[in-house]
Structure 1
Amino acid sequence: MSKLSVKEQSGCRKLLKLLPLDDLFALKDTVTNRLIAVESTEEAIEAIITYSQDAEELLKRKKISKCEKSTVVTDEVGDGLSDLPALGKQFCQWFYCLLNSQNPSQGHPAQDWGPQHFWEDVRLQLLLCSGEQRVDEFNGAELVSKRLRALAGEERLLFCPNLEGYGLKCISSAHGLVIVAVAGTIHRDNACLGIFEQVFGLIRSPMDNNRWKIKYVYIKVEAQSAITDRQLPLITYDSKELLRLCK
Protein backbone atom coordinates (compact mmCIF):
# COMPACT_ATOMS: atom_id res chain seq x y z
CA MET A 1 0.00 0.00 0.00
CA SER A 2 1.37 3.44 -0.93
CA LYS A 3 2.58 5.64 1.92
CA LEU A 4 1.89 8.79 -0.09
CA SER A 5 -1.12 10.92 0.85
CA VAL A 6 -4.02 11.19 -1.58
CA LYS A 7 -2.87 14.68 -2.57
CA GLU A 8 0.72 13.53 -3.08
CA GLN A 9 -0.45 10.58 -5.18
CA SER A 10 -2.49 12.91 -7.39
CA GLY A 11 0.45 15.26 -7.90
CA CYS A 12 2.88 12.43 -8.61
CA ARG A 13 0.52 10.86 -11.15
CA LYS A 14 0.42 14.12 -13.09
CA LEU A 15 4.21 14.36 -12.98
CA LEU A 16 4.79 10.76 -14.03
CA LYS A 17 2.56 11.25 -17.05
CA LEU A 18 5.08 13.82 -18.32
CA LEU A 19 7.86 11.23 -18.54
CA PRO A 20 8.72 9.58 -21.86
CA LEU A 21 7.62 5.94 -21.88
CA ASP A 22 11.16 4.56 -21.77
CA ASP A 23 12.00 6.65 -18.70
CA LEU A 24 8.71 5.74 -17.02
CA PHE A 25 9.25 2.01 -17.38
CA ALA A 26 12.90 2.31 -16.34
CA LEU A 27 11.79 4.18 -13.22
CA LYS A 28 9.22 1.47 -12.50
CA ASP A 29 11.97 -1.16 -12.66
CA THR A 30 14.14 0.85 -10.26
CA VAL A 31 11.40 1.52 -7.72
CA THR A 32 10.03 -2.05 -7.73
CA ASN A 33 13.41 -3.80 -8.11
CA ARG A 34 11.99 -5.38 -11.30
CA LEU A 35 9.57 -7.45 -9.21
CA ILE A 36 6.44 -6.08 -10.87
CA ALA A 37 5.52 -6.67 -14.52
CA VAL A 38 3.23 -4.09 -16.14
CA GLU A 39 1.63 -3.78 -19.56
CA SER A 40 0.51 -0.15 -19.70
CA THR A 41 1.44 3.38 -18.72
CA GLU A 42 -1.27 3.43 -16.06
CA GLU A 43 -0.01 0.18 -14.48
CA ALA A 44 3.56 1.50 -14.45
CA ILE A 45 2.48 4.72 -12.70
CA GLU A 46 0.46 2.84 -10.09
CA ALA A 47 3.37 0.48 -9.42
CA ILE A 48 5.75 3.41 -8.91
CA ILE A 49 3.37 5.14 -6.50
CA THR A 50 2.61 1.93 -4.60
CA TYR A 51 6.27 1.04 -4.03
CA SER A 52 7.52 4.58 -3.25
CA GLN A 53 8.15 5.19 0.45
CA ASP A 54 7.30 8.88 0.31
CA ALA A 55 6.94 11.80 -2.11
CA GLU A 56 10.39 13.22 -1.34
CA GLU A 57 12.07 9.93 -2.22
CA LEU A 58 10.18 9.73 -5.51
CA LEU A 59 10.85 13.35 -6.50
CA LYS A 60 14.59 12.86 -5.98
CA ARG A 61 14.74 10.06 -8.54
CA LYS A 62 16.97 10.90 -11.52
CA LYS A 63 14.26 10.26 -14.10
CA ILE A 64 11.89 12.61 -12.29
CA SER A 65 14.51 15.36 -12.11
CA LYS A 66 14.77 15.30 -15.92
CA CYS A 67 11.11 16.29 -16.11
CA GLU A 68 11.29 19.24 -13.73
CA LYS A 69 9.42 18.24 -10.59
CA SER A 70 8.54 21.91 -10.03
CA THR A 71 6.02 21.60 -12.88
CA VAL A 72 3.43 19.94 -10.64
CA VAL A 73 1.87 23.33 -10.15
CA THR A 74 -1.62 22.23 -9.32
CA ASP A 75 -0.91 20.19 -6.18
CA GLU A 76 2.52 21.13 -4.78
CA VAL A 77 2.59 24.92 -4.29
CA GLY A 78 -0.09 25.66 -1.67
CA ASP A 79 -2.63 28.27 -2.69
CA GLY A 80 -0.13 29.85 -5.09
CA LEU A 81 -1.20 33.36 -4.14
CA SER A 82 1.46 33.78 -1.45
CA ASP A 83 4.24 33.67 -4.05
CA LEU A 84 2.89 34.73 -7.44
CA PRO A 85 6.27 34.84 -9.23
CA ALA A 86 6.97 31.23 -8.19
CA LEU A 87 3.50 30.13 -9.30
CA GLY A 88 3.91 31.93 -12.63
CA LYS A 89 7.34 30.47 -13.29
CA GLN A 90 6.24 26.93 -12.42
CA PHE A 91 3.12 27.26 -14.55
CA CYS A 92 5.15 28.44 -17.56
CA GLN A 93 7.69 25.64 -17.15
CA TRP A 94 4.83 23.14 -17.15
CA PHE A 95 2.88 24.73 -20.01
CA TYR A 96 5.71 25.19 -22.49
CA CYS A 97 7.22 21.80 -21.74
CA LEU A 98 3.80 20.33 -22.51
CA LEU A 99 3.17 22.44 -25.61
CA ASN A 100 6.65 22.01 -27.08
CA SER A 101 6.38 18.25 -26.66
CA GLN A 102 3.67 18.33 -29.35
CA ASN A 103 6.30 19.48 -31.88
CA PRO A 104 7.44 16.37 -33.79
CA SER A 105 10.86 17.92 -34.47
CA GLN A 106 11.69 17.49 -30.77
CA GLY A 107 11.96 13.75 -31.23
CA HIS A 108 10.18 12.91 -27.97
CA PRO A 109 6.73 11.37 -27.33
CA ALA A 110 4.00 14.00 -27.09
CA GLN A 111 2.86 14.56 -23.50
CA ASP A 112 -0.70 14.62 -22.20
CA TRP A 113 -2.10 17.69 -23.96
CA GLY A 114 -5.85 18.20 -24.14
CA PRO A 115 -8.97 20.19 -23.18
CA GLN A 116 -8.73 18.95 -19.58
CA HIS A 117 -6.28 21.76 -18.82
CA PHE A 118 -8.82 24.45 -19.76
CA TRP A 119 -12.16 25.73 -18.50
CA GLU A 120 -15.05 24.81 -20.78
CA ASP A 121 -15.66 28.46 -21.67
CA VAL A 122 -11.98 29.36 -22.18
CA ARG A 123 -11.24 32.10 -24.73
CA LEU A 124 -8.15 32.37 -26.92
CA GLN A 125 -7.11 35.50 -28.81
CA LEU A 126 -4.25 35.22 -31.28
CA LEU A 127 -2.72 38.46 -32.59
CA LEU A 128 -0.18 38.19 -35.42
CA CYS A 129 1.92 41.24 -36.30
CA SER A 130 3.85 40.91 -39.55
CA GLY A 131 3.59 44.28 -41.23
CA GLU A 132 -0.17 44.23 -40.72
CA GLN A 133 -2.15 42.92 -37.76
CA ARG A 134 -4.46 39.91 -37.79
CA VAL A 135 -6.61 38.80 -34.85
CA ASP A 136 -8.22 35.36 -34.53
CA GLU A 137 -10.45 34.30 -31.65
CA PHE A 138 -11.36 30.80 -30.49
CA ASN A 139 -13.79 29.75 -27.77
CA GLY A 140 -14.30 26.54 -25.81
CA ALA A 141 -11.87 24.04 -24.33
CA GLU A 142 -11.87 21.65 -27.30
CA LEU A 143 -11.29 24.32 -29.96
CA VAL A 144 -8.74 26.30 -27.94
CA SER A 145 -6.85 23.14 -27.08
CA LYS A 146 -6.68 22.08 -30.73
CA ARG A 147 -5.60 25.52 -31.97
CA LEU A 148 -2.78 25.81 -29.46
CA ARG A 149 -1.63 22.27 -30.15
CA ALA A 150 -1.56 23.04 -33.87
CA LEU A 151 0.99 25.81 -33.27
CA ALA A 152 3.51 23.21 -32.16
CA GLY A 153 2.23 20.07 -33.88
CA GLU A 154 1.27 21.29 -37.36
CA GLU A 155 3.13 24.60 -37.63
CA ARG A 156 6.16 23.07 -35.85
CA LEU A 157 6.75 26.15 -33.69
CA LEU A 158 8.96 25.98 -30.61
CA PHE A 159 8.28 28.45 -27.79
CA CYS A 160 11.20 29.60 -25.63
CA PRO A 161 9.89 31.73 -22.74
CA ASN A 162 12.00 34.28 -20.90
CA LEU A 163 11.26 33.45 -17.26
CA GLU A 164 13.66 35.97 -15.74
CA GLY A 165 13.47 39.70 -15.07
CA TYR A 166 11.04 41.60 -17.24
CA GLY A 167 10.13 38.54 -19.28
CA LEU A 168 7.61 37.34 -16.66
CA LYS A 169 4.89 39.22 -14.79
CA CYS A 170 2.21 37.83 -12.46
CA ILE A 171 -0.73 39.59 -10.81
CA SER A 172 -3.97 38.52 -9.14
CA SER A 173 -7.44 40.00 -8.94
CA ALA A 174 -9.74 40.26 -5.93
CA HIS A 175 -11.87 37.45 -7.37
CA GLY A 176 -9.27 34.68 -7.44
CA LEU A 177 -8.04 35.22 -11.00
CA VAL A 178 -4.28 34.87 -11.43
CA ILE A 179 -2.79 36.42 -14.55
CA VAL A 180 0.55 35.17 -15.82
CA ALA A 181 2.23 37.13 -18.63
CA VAL A 182 5.37 35.84 -20.29
CA ALA A 183 7.49 36.92 -23.26
CA GLY A 184 9.85 34.82 -25.32
CA THR A 185 11.10 33.84 -28.75
CA ILE A 186 9.52 31.56 -31.34
CA HIS A 187 11.61 29.16 -33.42
CA ARG A 188 11.16 26.66 -36.21
CA ASP A 189 14.04 24.25 -36.60
CA ASN A 190 17.16 26.46 -36.40
CA ALA A 191 15.45 29.72 -37.34
CA CYS A 192 14.16 32.39 -34.94
CA LEU A 193 10.85 33.58 -36.39
CA GLY A 194 10.11 36.35 -33.92
CA ILE A 195 9.02 37.12 -30.38
CA PHE A 196 5.81 36.55 -28.48
CA GLU A 197 3.92 37.80 -25.45
CA GLN A 198 1.43 35.37 -23.95
CA VAL A 199 -1.07 36.11 -21.21
CA PHE A 200 -2.89 33.42 -19.23
CA GLY A 201 -5.84 33.87 -16.90
CA LEU A 202 -5.90 31.05 -14.33
CA ILE A 203 -8.72 30.11 -11.96
CA ARG A 204 -8.93 27.17 -9.58
CA SER A 205 -11.56 24.53 -10.33
CA PRO A 206 -13.35 23.25 -7.17
CA MET A 207 -14.84 20.46 -9.28
CA ASP A 208 -11.41 19.19 -10.33
CA ASN A 209 -9.40 18.83 -7.10
CA ASN A 210 -9.05 22.62 -6.88
CA ARG A 211 -6.53 22.59 -9.74
CA TRP A 212 -5.51 25.74 -11.57
CA LYS A 213 -7.09 25.66 -15.04
CA ILE A 214 -6.72 28.08 -17.93
CA LYS A 215 -9.63 30.50 -18.39
CA TYR A 216 -8.13 33.02 -20.82
CA VAL A 217 -5.26 32.92 -23.30
CA TYR A 218 -3.92 35.87 -25.27
CA ILE A 219 -0.96 35.55 -27.63
CA LYS A 220 0.74 38.38 -29.50
CA VAL A 221 3.31 37.29 -32.06
CA GLU A 222 5.67 39.74 -33.75
CA ALA A 223 7.44 38.40 -36.81
CA GLN A 224 11.17 38.97 -36.92
CA SER A 225 10.75 41.33 -39.87
CA ALA A 226 8.34 43.52 -37.87
CA ILE A 227 10.61 44.00 -34.83
CA THR A 228 12.18 47.45 -34.91
CA ASP A 229 12.52 49.03 -31.47
CA ARG A 230 13.48 46.15 -29.17
CA GLN A 231 15.31 42.88 -29.40
CA LEU A 232 14.79 41.25 -26.01
CA PRO A 233 11.45 39.52 -25.34
CA LEU A 234 9.92 41.65 -22.57
CA ILE A 235 6.41 42.16 -21.18
CA THR A 236 5.01 45.43 -22.55
CA TYR A 237 1.61 45.35 -20.82
CA ASP A 238 0.96 47.05 -17.48
CA SER A 239 -1.30 45.55 -14.81
CA LYS A 240 -4.46 47.35 -15.98
CA GLU A 241 -3.92 46.15 -19.53
CA LEU A 242 -3.39 42.58 -18.36
CA LEU A 243 -6.65 42.65 -16.39
CA ARG A 244 -8.44 44.06 -19.44
CA LEU A 245 -7.13 41.25 -21.64
CA CYS A 246 -8.62 38.65 -19.27
CA LYS A 247 -12.17 40.01 -19.24
Structure 2
Amino acid sequence: MKSLSSAFRQGAPVCPAEKAQFHFFYWRNSLDFSFDVICYINVKMAAMSEKEKSGCRRLLELLSAEDLMALKDTVTNRLISVESTREAVEAIIAYSQSAEELLKRRKVHREVIFQYLAKEGVAVPPNTEKLHLVRRTLALWSDKVALFQDTQNNSTACCQEEPDGLGDLTALGKEFCRWFYQLFNSLNPTAGLPVQDWGPQHFWGDAKLFILSCTGEQEQDEYYGAELVSRRLSALVWEEKLIFCPNLEQSGLKCLSTPHGLVLVAVAGTIHRENLCLGIFEQVFGLIRDPLEGNRWKMKYVHLKIKGQVGGKQLPVLTYESDDMLQLFTT
Protein backbone atom coordinates (compact mmCIF):
# COMPACT_ATOMS: atom_id res chain seq x y z
CA MET A 1 0.00 0.00 0.00
CA LYS A 2 1.38 3.43 -0.91
CA SER A 3 1.69 5.96 1.87
CA LEU A 4 -1.34 8.00 2.80
CA SER A 5 0.81 11.08 2.24
CA SER A 6 1.03 10.40 -1.48
CA ALA A 7 -2.64 9.48 -1.56
CA PHE A 8 -3.58 12.79 0.06
CA ARG A 9 -1.41 14.67 -2.40
CA GLN A 10 -3.57 13.14 -4.99
CA GLY A 11 -6.52 14.48 -2.86
CA ALA A 12 8.01 19.92 41.97
CA PRO A 13 7.01 23.49 41.47
CA VAL A 14 9.87 25.96 41.06
CA CYS A 15 7.81 28.47 43.03
CA PRO A 16 6.61 26.42 46.06
CA ALA A 17 4.74 27.67 49.07
CA GLU A 18 8.01 28.28 50.95
CA LYS A 19 9.21 30.73 48.29
CA ALA A 20 5.82 32.44 48.22
CA GLN A 21 5.90 32.82 52.00
CA PHE A 22 9.24 34.58 51.83
CA HIS A 23 8.10 37.05 49.19
CA PHE A 24 4.97 38.08 51.06
CA PHE A 25 6.71 38.22 54.44
CA TYR A 26 9.46 40.41 53.02
CA TRP A 27 6.93 42.67 51.30
CA ARG A 28 4.98 43.61 54.45
CA ASN A 29 7.36 42.45 57.17
CA SER A 30 4.39 41.59 59.32
CA LEU A 31 4.18 38.17 60.88
CA ASP A 32 0.41 38.35 61.35
CA PHE A 33 -0.21 39.51 57.78
CA SER A 34 2.18 36.96 56.27
CA PHE A 35 0.41 34.15 58.13
CA ASP A 36 -2.96 35.20 56.72
CA VAL A 37 -1.60 35.36 53.19
CA ILE A 38 0.23 32.06 53.50
CA CYS A 39 -2.96 30.33 54.54
CA TYR A 40 -4.80 31.90 51.62
CA ILE A 41 -2.09 30.81 49.19
CA ASN A 42 -2.12 27.25 50.41
CA VAL A 43 -5.90 27.08 50.03
CA LYS A 44 -5.65 28.36 46.47
CA MET A 45 -2.84 25.95 45.55
CA ALA A 46 -4.99 23.07 46.73
CA ALA A 47 -7.91 24.21 44.58
CA MET A 48 -6.52 22.49 41.48
CA SER A 49 -6.33 18.73 41.19
CA GLU A 50 -3.09 17.14 40.02
CA LYS A 51 -4.72 16.40 36.68
CA GLU A 52 -5.71 20.05 36.28
CA LYS A 53 -2.21 21.21 37.19
CA SER A 54 -0.68 18.86 34.65
CA GLY A 55 -3.10 20.02 31.98
CA CYS A 56 -2.46 23.67 32.78
CA ARG A 57 1.27 23.15 32.41
CA ARG A 58 0.87 21.63 28.94
CA LEU A 59 -1.52 24.39 27.91
CA LEU A 60 0.65 27.24 29.22
CA GLU A 61 3.59 25.90 27.23
CA LEU A 62 1.68 26.93 24.11
CA LEU A 63 1.70 30.61 25.10
CA SER A 64 4.34 32.95 23.75
CA ALA A 65 7.01 34.00 26.25
CA GLU A 66 5.62 37.55 26.24
CA ASP A 67 2.05 36.45 26.98
CA LEU A 68 3.26 33.98 29.61
CA MET A 69 5.17 36.65 31.53
CA ALA A 70 2.27 39.09 31.25
CA LEU A 71 -0.09 36.42 32.59
CA LYS A 72 2.29 35.71 35.47
CA ASP A 73 2.34 39.40 36.38
CA THR A 74 -1.46 39.54 36.35
CA VAL A 75 -1.97 36.39 38.41
CA THR A 76 0.68 37.26 41.02
CA ASN A 77 0.00 41.02 41.01
CA ARG A 78 3.65 41.53 39.99
CA LEU A 79 4.81 40.35 43.43
CA ILE A 80 6.71 37.27 42.21
CA SER A 81 9.82 37.51 40.08
CA VAL A 82 10.91 34.56 37.95
CA GLU A 83 13.99 33.72 35.92
CA SER A 84 12.55 31.36 33.32
CA THR A 85 9.34 30.44 31.53
CA ARG A 86 9.19 27.25 33.60
CA GLU A 87 9.15 29.27 36.82
CA ALA A 88 6.50 31.52 35.30
CA VAL A 89 4.29 28.50 34.56
CA GLU A 90 4.63 27.20 38.12
CA ALA A 91 3.90 30.65 39.60
CA ILE A 92 0.75 30.98 37.48
CA ILE A 93 -0.50 27.58 38.61
CA ALA A 94 0.40 28.23 42.24
CA TYR A 95 -1.48 31.52 42.44
CA SER A 96 -4.51 30.73 40.30
CA GLN A 97 -7.67 30.17 42.34
CA SER A 98 -8.89 27.43 40.02
CA ALA A 99 -8.35 25.93 36.59
CA GLU A 100 -11.50 27.63 35.34
CA GLU A 101 -10.29 31.05 36.51
CA LEU A 102 -6.98 30.51 34.72
CA LEU A 103 -8.58 29.39 31.46
CA LYS A 104 -10.83 32.46 31.43
CA ARG A 105 -7.90 34.87 31.70
CA ARG A 106 -7.61 37.24 28.72
CA LYS A 107 -4.05 36.17 27.95
CA VAL A 108 -5.19 32.54 27.58
CA HIS A 109 -6.49 33.12 24.09
CA ARG A 110 -9.21 31.04 22.45
CA GLU A 111 -6.72 29.84 19.84
CA VAL A 112 -4.39 28.50 22.52
CA ILE A 113 -7.15 26.42 24.14
CA PHE A 114 -8.19 25.14 20.71
CA GLN A 115 -4.60 24.08 19.93
CA TYR A 116 -4.31 22.38 23.31
CA LEU A 117 -7.50 20.36 22.79
CA ALA A 118 -6.31 19.32 19.32
CA LYS A 119 -3.03 18.07 20.79
CA GLU A 120 -5.00 16.09 23.37
CA GLY A 121 -7.08 14.45 20.63
CA VAL A 122 -10.28 16.40 21.34
CA ALA A 123 -11.84 17.70 18.11
CA VAL A 124 -14.01 20.83 18.23
CA PRO A 125 -15.24 23.12 15.42
CA PRO A 126 -12.65 25.84 14.62
CA ASN A 127 -15.22 28.59 15.27
CA THR A 128 -16.13 27.36 18.78
CA GLU A 129 -16.44 30.18 21.31
CA LYS A 130 -13.92 30.39 24.14
CA LEU A 131 -16.50 29.64 26.84
CA HIS A 132 -17.32 26.30 25.24
CA LEU A 133 -13.62 25.51 24.79
CA VAL A 134 -13.10 26.19 28.49
CA ARG A 135 -15.91 23.79 29.38
CA ARG A 136 -14.50 21.08 27.13
CA THR A 137 -11.06 21.50 28.69
CA LEU A 138 -12.42 21.33 32.25
CA ALA A 139 -14.35 18.19 31.32
CA LEU A 140 -11.13 16.68 29.98
CA TRP A 141 -9.41 17.45 33.27
CA SER A 142 -12.19 16.11 35.45
CA ASP A 143 -11.24 13.62 38.14
CA LYS A 144 -13.38 10.85 36.70
CA VAL A 145 -11.58 7.50 36.99
CA ALA A 146 -9.91 6.66 33.69
CA LEU A 147 -11.28 3.46 32.24
CA PHE A 148 -8.12 2.74 30.30
CA GLN A 149 -5.47 3.53 32.90
CA ASP A 150 -3.19 0.70 33.95
CA THR A 151 -2.56 0.34 37.67
CA GLN A 152 1.18 -0.07 37.10
CA ASN A 153 1.81 1.96 33.94
CA ASN A 154 -0.52 4.71 32.70
CA SER A 155 0.13 3.83 29.05
CA THR A 156 -0.37 0.07 29.22
CA ALA A 157 -3.42 -0.79 27.18
CA CYS A 158 -6.55 -1.32 27.98
CA CYS A 159 -7.62 -0.84 31.45
CA GLN A 160 -9.68 -1.98 34.28
CA GLU A 161 -13.34 -1.16 34.07
CA GLU A 162 -15.31 0.80 36.64
CA PRO A 163 -17.54 -1.01 39.13
CA ASP A 164 -20.62 -0.52 36.96
CA GLY A 165 -19.04 -2.65 34.20
CA LEU A 166 -20.60 -2.00 30.82
CA GLY A 167 -23.48 0.02 32.20
CA ASP A 168 -22.42 3.13 30.28
CA LEU A 169 -20.97 2.14 26.93
CA THR A 170 -20.71 5.74 25.75
CA ALA A 171 -18.52 6.68 28.73
CA LEU A 172 -16.34 3.64 28.08
CA GLY A 173 -16.06 4.55 24.40
CA LYS A 174 -15.09 8.15 25.14
CA GLU A 175 -12.46 7.12 27.64
CA PHE A 176 -11.04 4.58 25.21
CA CYS A 177 -10.84 7.15 22.40
CA ARG A 178 -9.16 9.73 24.62
CA TRP A 179 -6.65 7.13 25.75
CA PHE A 180 -6.03 5.71 22.27
CA TYR A 181 -5.62 8.94 20.29
CA GLN A 182 -3.44 10.60 22.91
CA LEU A 183 -1.19 7.54 22.85
CA PHE A 184 -1.40 7.25 19.04
CA ASN A 185 -0.67 10.93 18.31
CA SER A 186 2.25 10.97 20.74
CA LEU A 187 4.22 9.01 18.13
CA ASN A 188 4.15 11.98 15.73
CA PRO A 189 7.57 13.66 16.05
CA THR A 190 6.09 17.07 15.12
CA ALA A 191 3.25 16.99 17.66
CA GLY A 192 5.37 18.02 20.62
CA LEU A 193 3.81 15.38 22.88
CA PRO A 194 5.73 13.07 25.23
CA VAL A 195 6.11 9.73 23.42
CA GLN A 196 4.14 7.05 25.23
CA ASP A 197 4.38 3.28 25.36
CA TRP A 198 2.87 2.27 22.03
CA GLY A 199 3.34 -1.36 21.01
CA PRO A 200 1.84 -4.81 20.34
CA GLN A 201 1.00 -5.20 24.04
CA HIS A 202 -2.16 -3.19 23.39
CA PHE A 203 -3.50 -5.78 20.91
CA TRP A 204 -4.54 -9.40 21.00
CA GLY A 205 -2.03 -11.76 19.39
CA ASP A 206 -4.41 -12.49 16.50
CA ALA A 207 -5.47 -8.85 16.04
CA LYS A 208 -6.67 -7.75 12.62
CA LEU A 209 -6.33 -4.32 10.96
CA PHE A 210 -8.27 -3.29 7.85
CA ILE A 211 -7.46 0.04 6.14
CA LEU A 212 -9.68 1.46 3.41
CA SER A 213 -8.31 4.58 1.71
CA CYS A 214 -10.74 6.63 -0.41
CA THR A 215 -8.39 9.52 -1.25
CA GLY A 216 -8.81 9.41 -5.00
CA GLU A 217 -8.26 5.84 -6.12
CA GLN A 218 -9.76 3.43 -3.58
CA GLU A 219 -7.31 1.05 -1.91
CA GLN A 220 -7.65 -1.49 0.87
CA ASP A 221 -5.17 -3.53 2.87
CA GLU A 222 -5.35 -6.03 5.72
CA TYR A 223 -2.78 -6.81 8.41
CA TYR A 224 -2.76 -9.67 10.90
CA GLY A 225 -1.04 -10.18 14.25
CA ALA A 226 -0.32 -7.77 17.10
CA GLU A 227 3.18 -6.87 15.91
CA LEU A 228 2.25 -6.10 12.31
CA VAL A 229 -0.95 -4.25 13.25
CA SER A 230 0.96 -2.13 15.75
CA ARG A 231 3.73 -1.28 13.25
CA ARG A 232 1.36 -0.37 10.41
CA LEU A 233 -0.72 1.94 12.61
CA SER A 234 2.33 3.62 14.09
CA ALA A 235 3.67 4.33 10.59
CA LEU A 236 0.69 6.62 9.96
CA VAL A 237 1.77 9.05 12.66
CA TRP A 238 5.51 8.36 12.98
CA GLU A 239 6.47 8.22 9.29
CA GLU A 240 3.66 10.15 7.62
CA LYS A 241 3.38 12.64 10.50
CA LEU A 242 -0.41 12.58 10.64
CA ILE A 243 -2.54 13.70 13.60
CA PHE A 244 -5.93 12.07 14.23
CA CYS A 245 -8.52 14.26 16.00
CA PRO A 246 -11.67 12.32 16.99
CA ASN A 247 -15.12 13.86 17.30
CA LEU A 248 -16.37 12.61 20.66
CA GLU A 249 -19.71 14.36 20.42
CA GLN A 250 -22.84 12.27 19.98
CA SER A 251 -22.71 12.67 16.19
CA GLY A 252 -19.20 11.27 15.98
CA LEU A 253 -19.26 8.36 18.44
CA LYS A 254 -21.23 5.12 18.66
CA CYS A 255 -20.69 2.17 21.01
CA LEU A 256 -22.36 -1.23 21.32
CA SER A 257 -21.66 -4.64 22.84
CA THR A 258 -22.39 -8.23 21.83
CA PRO A 259 -23.52 -11.12 24.03
CA HIS A 260 -20.07 -12.69 23.61
CA GLY A 261 -18.13 -9.88 25.30
CA LEU A 262 -17.06 -7.92 22.21
CA VAL A 263 -17.41 -4.13 22.57
CA LEU A 264 -17.42 -2.06 19.39
CA VAL A 265 -16.38 1.60 19.47
CA ALA A 266 -16.83 3.63 16.29
CA VAL A 267 -15.60 7.21 15.97
CA ALA A 268 -15.30 9.84 13.23
CA GLY A 269 -12.73 12.61 13.09
CA THR A 270 -10.34 14.71 11.06
CA ILE A 271 -6.78 14.01 9.91
CA HIS A 272 -4.16 16.76 10.03
CA ARG A 273 -0.53 17.36 9.22
CA GLU A 274 0.68 20.35 11.22
CA ASN A 275 -1.86 23.12 10.46
CA LEU A 276 -3.33 21.49 7.34
CA CYS A 277 -6.51 19.40 7.44
CA LEU A 278 -6.02 16.55 4.96
CA GLY A 279 -9.30 14.68 5.29
CA ILE A 280 -11.64 12.76 7.56
CA PHE A 281 -11.68 9.27 9.00
CA GLU A 282 -14.02 6.73 10.52
CA GLN A 283 -12.48 4.10 12.77
CA VAL A 284 -14.11 1.11 14.44
CA PHE A 285 -12.42 -0.81 17.26
CA GLY A 286 -13.35 -4.26 18.51
CA LEU A 287 -12.37 -4.60 22.18
CA ILE A 288 -12.25 -7.74 24.31
CA ARG A 289 -11.13 -8.05 27.92
CA ASP A 290 -8.09 -10.17 28.73
CA PRO A 291 -8.67 -12.17 31.95
CA LEU A 292 -4.95 -12.99 32.13
CA GLU A 293 -4.03 -9.29 32.35
CA GLY A 294 -6.32 -8.02 35.06
CA ASN A 295 -9.43 -8.15 32.88
CA ARG A 296 -8.16 -5.22 30.83
CA TRP A 297 -9.47 -4.29 27.41
CA LYS A 298 -7.27 -5.01 24.41
CA MET A 299 -7.87 -4.37 20.73
CA LYS A 300 -8.94 -7.38 18.69
CA TYR A 301 -10.11 -5.60 15.52
CA VAL A 302 -9.37 -2.20 14.01
CA HIS A 303 -11.16 -0.96 10.90
CA LEU A 304 -9.95 2.39 9.50
CA LYS A 305 -11.64 4.23 6.62
CA ILE A 306 -9.99 7.39 5.29
CA LYS A 307 -11.46 9.98 2.95
CA GLY A 308 -9.86 13.01 1.31
CA GLN A 309 -10.70 16.58 2.22
CA VAL A 310 -14.42 17.27 2.41
CA GLY A 311 -15.83 20.80 2.25
CA GLY A 312 -17.48 22.51 5.19
CA LYS A 313 -16.43 23.44 8.74
CA GLN A 314 -18.71 21.04 10.62
CA LEU A 315 -17.30 18.19 12.64
CA PRO A 316 -17.28 14.86 10.77
CA VAL A 317 -20.29 12.67 11.43
CA LEU A 318 -20.21 8.92 11.91
CA THR A 319 -22.01 7.13 9.06
CA TYR A 320 -22.01 3.61 10.51
CA GLU A 321 -25.24 2.17 11.82
CA SER A 322 -25.14 -0.54 14.49
CA ASP A 323 -25.71 -3.32 11.95
CA ASP A 324 -22.87 -1.94 9.82
CA MET A 325 -20.50 -2.08 12.76
CA LEU A 326 -21.39 -5.67 13.54
CA GLN A 327 -20.98 -6.75 9.91
CA LEU A 328 -17.44 -5.40 9.80
CA PHE A 329 -16.25 -8.14 12.14
CA THR A 330 -18.75 -10.95 11.61
CA THR A 331 -18.58 -11.39 7.83
Q: TM-score normalized by structure 1?
A: 0.71
Q: How does 1:124-163 map to 2 (within 5 A)?
A: 124-163=209-248
Quote the offset at 1:79 in angstroms: 5.6
| Of 107-116 and 212-221, the range deviating more from structure 2 | 107-116
Partner of 2:50: 61
Q: Which residue of 1 aligns with 2:273?
A: 188
Which of 231, 240, 264 is the equivalent residue of 1:179?
264
Does the residue aligned with 2:218 lie in a helix, a strand or coil? strand
Higher strand share: 1
Which residue identity is paired with 1:89? K
Write the mapping of 1:15-164 to structure 2, written as runs, cut at 5 A: 26=12, 60-62=49-51, 66=55, 70-73=145-148, 74-78=159-163, 80-164=165-249
What's the CA shift for 1:81? Answer: 1.1
- What letter is aligned with 1:167? G
Do 1:77 and 1:87's aligned partners in 2 also have CA atoms closer than 8 Å?
Answer: no
Which AA in structure 2 matches 1:95?
F
Paired with 1:79 and 1:64, the residues of 2 have a C-alpha distance of 28
Mark the CA change 1:139 to 1:166 in structure 2 (over 3 Å): closer, same or farther: same
Cα 1:80–1:160 change in 2 (3 A) is farther
Measured against aligned partners, the alpha-carbon deviations of 1:27-53 in whole angstroms (never above 9, x if no partner) come to 9xx9xxxxxxxxxxxxxxxxxxxxxxx
**How many matched pairs?**
191
> Aligned letter for 1:61?
E
CA contact 2:283–2:302 (8 Å) conserved in 1: yes
Structure whose alpha-carbon radius of gyration is higher: 2
Using the TM superposition, give the Cα deviation of residue 187 of structure 1 relative to its aligned residue in structure 2, in angstroms: 0.1
Three-state SS of the structure 1 residue aligned to 2:204 is strand
Q: Which runs of 5+ in 2 are unaligned?
A: 1-11, 17-45, 56-119, 121-140, 149-158
Shift of 1:235: 1.0
Q: Deviations over 1:90-145 (max 9, x none)?
A: 00000000000000001233101011110000000000002221001100000000
Range that drifts further, 125-134 or 184-193: 125-134
* Letter paired with 1:211: R
Distance 1:147 1:168, change over 3 A: same
* 1:245 equivalent in structure 2: 328
Aligned-residue sequence identity (percent) comes to: 59
Match of 2:316 among 225, 229, 233: 233
Deviation at 1:80, TM superposition (A): 3.8
Name structure 1 gaps, 5 residues minimum.
1-25, 31-56
Map 1:198-217 → 2, pairs under 5 A: 198-217=283-302
Which residue does 2:253 correspond to in 1? 168
What's the CA shift for 1:230? 9.7
Q: Secondary structure at the match of 1:93?
A: helix
- CA displacement 1:187-212 (0-9 Å, x = unmatched): 00110000000000000001111000
RMSD: 2.5
